Amino acid sequence: MTLASLGKQTRSPFSGKIKIFADGAERNAILEFASRSDIHGFTTNPSLMRKAGVQDYRAYSKQLLQDVPNKPFSFEVFADDFAEMKKQALEIATWGKNVYVKIPIMNTKAESAIPLIQELSHQGIPLNVTALLTLDQVWETTRALKGGAPSIVSVFAGRIADTGRDPMPIMTASAEMCESAGDQVELLWASSREPLNIVQAELAGAKIITVTPEIARKMSGFNKDLFQLSLDTVKAFKTDSDAAGFTL
């Protein structure tokens, strides 16, 4: 491949087919993205809720659902006992028709949540099964969800990448497993780290990707001219050095 041909390969392979969900719990950010047509849903978790300073989980969640009544919204159970987890899931499911209940793949004792996942799914409760990182977990989850309610399988590709492993083979295989379980089971690329992950998720066959507000805002830079981006970068360095009053 010549330097000239490399220079011509300037466009991203992103096609826009994947659904993009904003991940977070800050109400202002959720309101910012709720009206964007390229944001198709929302997810949160107890850690993000705590970071946002939430005190009343139920009341805050219901307020978010009033803000976002027409896009999928995932809320996670926080119990560690499966009986209590089921109780919480059944309540959360009543909060709105656009609600997916997030169930972790296991509890803190490393006990599998698969029996509960299968039970809830076949009771007609839309689930978002979360914190998956292995293909064994994906396989067991897709078998449990097959024939059940519409569900999401959240594989934490970003955390896989944090270990120095390429998540693409795992995500591609996960996509095939989800497809074999039926159209109602969708693979979600979770724990995104950068806008490139959106392209990777689409190429891997994921149906959904979660992005932070910071990544969502960077999407406007897709296919920006690289020479112009270089110039903008130099200008930013100059602006900051002038503002700092640096001298030598």
Q: Could you give the domains of the chain?
A: 15-220 (3.20.20.70)
Please state, as a whole number, how many other Cβ atoms lie within 10 Å of the Cβ of residue 143. 15
Helix (H) or strand (E) holding 185: strand 185-189
Which tens digits make up the pLDDT trace of 11-58? 788 888 999 999 999 999 999 999 999 999 999 999 999 999 999 999
109 pLDDT tier (thresholds 50, 70, 90)? very high
% of the chain with per-residue pLDDT over 70: 96
Report the pLDDT value the prediction gives residue 6, as an integer from 0 to 100: 58
77 near 101, Cβ under 8 Å?
yes
Burial of residue 8 (CB within 10 Å: 0-12, 13-18, 19+) is exposed
More confident residue, 221 or 245: 245
The answer to whether 168 and 134 have CB atoms below 8 angstroms apart is: no
Name 148's Cβ contacts closer than 8 Å, sequence gap at least 6. 118, 121, 122, 124, 127, 184
Confidence of residue 142 (pLDDT cuts 50, 70, 90): very high
Q: What is the pLDDT of residue 28?
A: 96
Share of the chain above pLDDT 90, in %: 90
Q: What is the pTM of this model?
A: 0.93
Phi, psi of 68 (to 5 degrees): -130, 80
Question: Pick from 78, 80, 153, 156: which is nearest to 121 by CA?
Answer: 153
102 given a catalytic annotation: yes
Q: How far apart are CA 221 and CA 174, in angstroms?
A: 29
Q: Which entry of 102, 109, 218, 224 is annotated as an active-site residue?
A: 102
